[in-house]
Amino acid sequence: MRIRIIWTIFRKEIVETLRDRRTLLMMVGLPVLLYPMMIICVSWFQRSQTEKREERASEVAVWGEEAPQIVDWLGGAGKLTLKRWAAAPSQVQAMLRDPAIRPARAVQEPEEALGSSRRTAATEAENPVLAAARAAISEHTVDAVLITWPGLMRSIGDDGLGSITVYYDSVQPDSVLARDRLVETLGRYRATLVQLRERSHSLAPGFAVALDVLQRNVASEQRRGGELLGMLLPFILIVMSLLGGLYPAIDLTAGEKERGTMQTLMCAPVSPQEIIVGKFLTVWAIALITALVNVISLAATLARLLPGTNLHLPLASYLATFGMLVPVTLIISALFLAVAAFARDFKDGQNFLTPVYMVLAMPAVATMLPGVQLTTTTAFLPVVNIALLIKSVMLSEAAPDLVFLALLSSLTYSGLALVLAARVFQQEQVLLGGQQSIVDLLGLRRRAGRTAGPGVAIVSFAIVLVVVFYGSLLLQRAGIVAMVLVTEYAFFLLPTLAIVFWLGYPARETLALRVPPLRALIGSVLVGVSAWTVAAGVLIRLLPPPESLVRALERILLLDGKSPSLWIVWLIVGVTPAICEELFFRGFVLSGLRRLGILPALLVSALLFGLAHSSIYRLLPTAFLGVLFGYAVWRTGSVACGITAHALNNGLMATMVLAPSSFQWLGMGKGPFLPWTPTAFGAGVAIVGLLLIRSVPQFNHARAGSDQETSPVPAG
């Protein structure tokens, strides 16, 4: 072995490697930029979450004997909102009014007395008070429950030992904060009592304690085990799923270029769509199998190494976890294929995909941060939402609406990634190693005269959905009026007009800007004033909305409770959404889908309309209304019919909230659902309206869509 030759080869390879800018970026640039940015962002996020939690007042339910001195002391401390008997079942109220009732004692470990240095709270045997407190806290009705046991004030007045119990959930950061605030405030109250006793009496048993505050952790063993597993397992599963799709994506794109088989495949009698779908399914299958194997392995490992501990999960949680990984593998498979297609060889593919891999994997670290949970804000963050969703499944606290939002956003991002991959594989110049501008790649060049296709419509919806969601969150502090107006005009109407005019689509055909026949307009009026009865009387029964959602909708319809004039409510809540949303959904989206045929176009556009309202409880009613509005526009070729029906529907809902006495004849208020008689009558009126719309001549969509865009992505 000749050292000189080895040195020559080493010098040659190291010089060539360091000349590669991508290698320098990966070796030096990425670590220098990534880690500081990651640490700064994570620190800022954690600090902001802590500050928000500290600013919020803890809501505490007070159950038991009247204790005005203690309540006044706690109320004057600040950051504590006391609610008398909040969420207390009648059985528990009766128990706590019984003078003979006493606090349950601890099991397995001694109670943690107030002022003790131990931080591990005691547990107690199952009992009705514990179960009721657990339910109140786990349902987020309150943050903690304070029990003032019978005889408390008499014992304190007689210089004896009174008992108070604080129930909290150690898994919920807000509940732990409430516990800490209560314990600290009650500690000061106890110290005051002791000082008074010491000044007026000689010491006796109980004087040094005065108030025995017990801390009870209502989190079950499964939730405590799920908290620990939920901090680590989502990150591991997502990282391993990413690895499962990384190398197959490189091999099926850059690897084929390096082996010279990509050119052969391009010459074969197959379409680019067939190529991308076949390759995508291959990468997705491998990533999915990797995820499945990781879930099975983790389940088997935990069952084998940790038997009999609280670090275990039921089989249903593992199955749900695997189901949550499906949208993640969709995103990574499509995105890896799209990026790897630009690489010239395998090494190039690794350079391209390693930054993508790190960008997708790092957000999953959020599950390890204390206090970071699945919320309406995090539900739309790609990868983060699934990681937090898996964590919430392990904690058995996944709310249906948040699950819906997380899956909806993930499928939206998956669709965008898949469309991007399809667009890349349509560019032969890219597949053969050439380069192309981003404008041509995304099809953003203006080509006047052609109308939108299904791909353009669905991709535009996905982008608008994300913009609307985060935009509305940012506008919450601005008030309901500003949020509605900006959301509708800036996030729905403005993007619609921008896409139409930027890409050169004919506005009249794309947005259905025609004057409708009078019969169709009358039919739309009948549909608008009656279709809501079917939604309120039938569809809502299938999936009743929670009281919190009903109150939130009423708050929007009342414009934040400011008691505005009825005509202002109609203008903001009725007319504005009708114009902006109808031009987007029944104008732009429906025209883009019309080449699919009437039934698929109506169903898909209605489904997108329902999804845009970001609530699983509103999905069926909103999609049903979308089908009716869409049929009116499809039959007449005029979006004015949809605007009319939409405005009347929204305006009537607002009127019912502002003046409920005017609609008592419908039987509303006697139950959670609209009675069957007005439901049947409203359905009949809606059918008459649809028949009137059907009686007008069918608009010729074939002629209007003769120059329709056929590309699956926004191509001019």
113-122, 291-300, 558-567, 665-674: the lowest-pLDDT one:
113-122
Q: What is the pLDDT of residue 445?
A: 59
Other CB atoms within 10 A of residue 526 CB: 22
Whether 166 and 246 map to the same domain: the answer is: no
Instruction: Kindly state whether residue 242 falls inside one of the protein's structural domains.
Output: yes
Q: What is the pLDDT of residue 712?
A: 42
Q: Categorize the per-residue pLDDT at 396 as very low, low, confident or very high, splitting at 50, 70 and 90.
A: confident
Contact 245, 336 (CB under 8 A): yes
Whether 408 and 518 map to the same domain: the answer is: no
Whether 503 and 622 map to the same domain: the answer is: yes
**Is the pLDDT at 588 greater than 90, yes or no?**
yes
- Which among 203, 219, 235 is the end of a domain? 219
Backbone angles phi, psi at 163, to 5 degrees: -125, 135
Boundaries of domain holding 174:
57-219
DSSP output for 623-635: HHHHHHHHHHHHH
- Label each residue of 267-300 as H, E or C: HCCCCHHHHHHHHHHHHHHHHHHHHHHHHHHHHH
- Which among 219, 248, 281 is the end of a domain? 219
H or E stretch covering 146: strand 144-148
Tokens of 73: 């002391």
**Mean pLDDT in residue range 674-701:** 88
Q: Categorize the per-residue pLDDT at 311 as very low, low, confident or very high, splitting at 50, 70 and 90.
A: low
Q: CB-based contacts of 326: which residues, under 8 Å, 6+ apart?
A: 288, 291
Whether 275 and 214 map to the same domain: the answer is: no
Q: Categorize the per-residue pLDDT at 713 as very low, low, confident or very high, splitting at 50, 70 and 90.
A: very low
139-143, 424-428, 429-433: the lowest-pLDDT one:
429-433
Whether 491 and 580 map to the same domain: the answer is: yes
**Cα pseudo-dihedral 26, 27, 30, 31, rounded to 10:** 150
Instruction: Kindly state whether residue 646 falls inside one of the protein's structural domains.
Output: yes
- Which among 186, 219, 252 is the end of a domain? 219
Q: Roughly how many angstroms between the first and final C-alpha of the chain, as a whole number?
A: 62
pLDDT, one tens digit per residue, over 44-72 is 776 777 778 788 889 999 999 988 888 88
**Is the pLDDT at 691 greater than 90, yes or no?**
yes
Say which residue, 189 or 433, is predicted with more confidence.
189
Instruction: Kindly state whether residue 241 falls inside one of the protein's structural domains.
Output: yes
CATH of the domain at 78: 3.40.1710
Instruction: Kindly state whether residue 556 falls inside one of the protein's structural domains.
Output: yes
Whether 535 and 570 map to the same domain: the answer is: yes
**Mean pLDDT in residue range 540-563:** 76
pLDDT, one tens digit per residue, over 322-361 is 888 888 888 888 888 888 877 777 777 888 888 888 888 8
660: DSSP letter: G
Q: Which of 575, 630, 562 is nearest to 601 (CA)?
A: 630
Say which residue, 568 or 42, is predicted with more confidence.
568
Buried b (16+ CB within 10 A) or exposed e, 280-293: bebbbebbbebbbe
Maximum Cα interatomic distance, the chain, rounded to a whole number of Å: 101
Q: What is the pLDDT of residue 111?
A: 42
Q: Categorize the per-residue pLDDT at 603 as very low, low, confident or very high, splitting at 50, 70 and 90.
A: very high
Cross-strand bridge partners of residue 168: 217
Distance CA 164, CA 184 (A): 14
Whether 211 and 228 map to the same domain: the answer is: no
Contact 330, 411 (CB under 8 A): yes
Distance CA 192, CA 549 (A): 44
Q: Categorize the per-residue pLDDT at 6 as very low, low, confident or very high, splitting at 50, 70 and 90.
A: low
Buried b (16+ CB within 10 A) or exposed e, 36-69: eeeeeebeeeeeebeeeeeeeebbbbbbbbebee
Contact 141, 97 (CB under 8 A): no
**Is the pLDDT at 602 greater than 90, yes or no?**
yes
Distance CA 307, CA 324 (A): 26
**Is the pLDDT at 226 greater than 70, yes or no?**
no
Backbone angles phi, psi at 708, to 5 degrees: -70, 145
46-55, 76-85, 283-292: the lowest-pLDDT one:
46-55
Q: Categorize the per-residue pLDDT at 441 as very low, low, confident or very high, splitting at 50, 70 and 90.
A: low
Whether 197 and 289 map to the same domain: the answer is: no
Q: CB-based contacts of 557: which residues, under 8 Å, 6+ apart?
A: 569, 573, 653, 654, 657, 658
State how far the alpha carbon of 93 is from the alpha carbons of 104, 130, 284, in Å: 16, 13, 55
**Mean pLDDT in residue range 79-91:** 90
Instruction: Kindly state whether residue 438 falls inside one of the protein's structural domains.
Output: no
Q: What is the pLDDT of residue 113?
A: 43
**Is the pLDDT at 241 greater than 70, yes or no?**
yes
Q: What share of the chain is helix, strand, coil (3-state, %, to 5)?
A: 70, 5, 25
H or E stretch covering 163: strand 162-168
**Mean pLDDT in residue range 304-321:** 66
Whether 203 and 264 map to the same domain: the answer is: no
**Mean pLDDT in residue range 557-570:** 76
53-67, 283-297, 521-535: the lowest-pLDDT one:
283-297
**Is the pLDDT at 432 greater than 70, yes or no?**
no
The pTM of the full predicted model, rounded to 2 decimals, is 0.67
Cα within 13 Å of Cα(543), Cβ side? 11
pLDDT, one tens digit per residue, over 451-510 is 777 878 888 888 898 888 888 878 877 888 888 899 999 999 999 999 888 888 888 888
**Is the pLDDT at 423 greater than 90, yes or no?**
no
**Mean pLDDT in residue range 709-713:** 44
- 83: alpha, beta or left, given left = phi > 0 and alpha = psi -120 to 50? beta
Contact 370, 317 (CB under 8 A): no
pLDDT, one tens digit per residue, over 228-240 is 677 777 887 888 7
Q: What is the pLDDT of residue 112?
A: 45
**Is the pLDDT at 110 greater than 60, yes or no?**
no
Q: Which of 255, 433, 407, 272 is nearest to 331 (CA)?
A: 407
Q: CB-based contacts of 500: which residues, under 8 Å, 6+ apart?
A: 507, 510, 511, 588
H or E stretch covering 214: strand 211-217
Tell me the pLDDT of the chain averaged across its residues. Answer: 79
Q: What is the pLDDT of residue 535?
A: 87
Distance CA 502, CA 446 (A): 6
Distance CA 282, CA 302 (A): 30
Say which residue, 8 or 85, is predicted with more confidence.
85
Whether 505 and 644 map to the same domain: the answer is: yes
**Is the pLDDT at 662 greater than 60, yes or no?**
yes
Instruction: Kindly state whether residue 597 falls inside one of the protein's structural domains.
Output: yes
Tokens of 278: 């076949």
Q: What is the pLDDT of residue 614?
A: 82
- Amino acid present at 418: L
Overall domain count for the chain? 3
Say which residue, 665 or 275, is predicted with more confidence.
275
Percent of the chain at pLDDT exceeding 70 = 77
Instruction: Kindly state whether residue 4 falls inside one of the protein's structural domains.
Output: no
Whether 616 and 652 map to the same domain: the answer is: yes
Distance CA 592, CA 582 (A): 14
Q: Categorize the per-residue pLDDT at 576 as very low, low, confident or very high, splitting at 50, 70 and 90.
A: very high
Whether 245 and 118 map to the same domain: the answer is: no
Instruction: Kindly state whether residue 634 falls inside one of the protein's structural domains.
Output: yes
- Nearest 5°: the CA angle 609, 611, 616 is 130
Q: Which of 653, 672, 668 is nearest to 556 (CA)?
A: 653
pLDDT, one tens digit per residue, over 138-174 is 888 899 999 999 988 888 888 788 889 999 998 888 8
Q: What is the pLDDT of residue 251?
A: 79
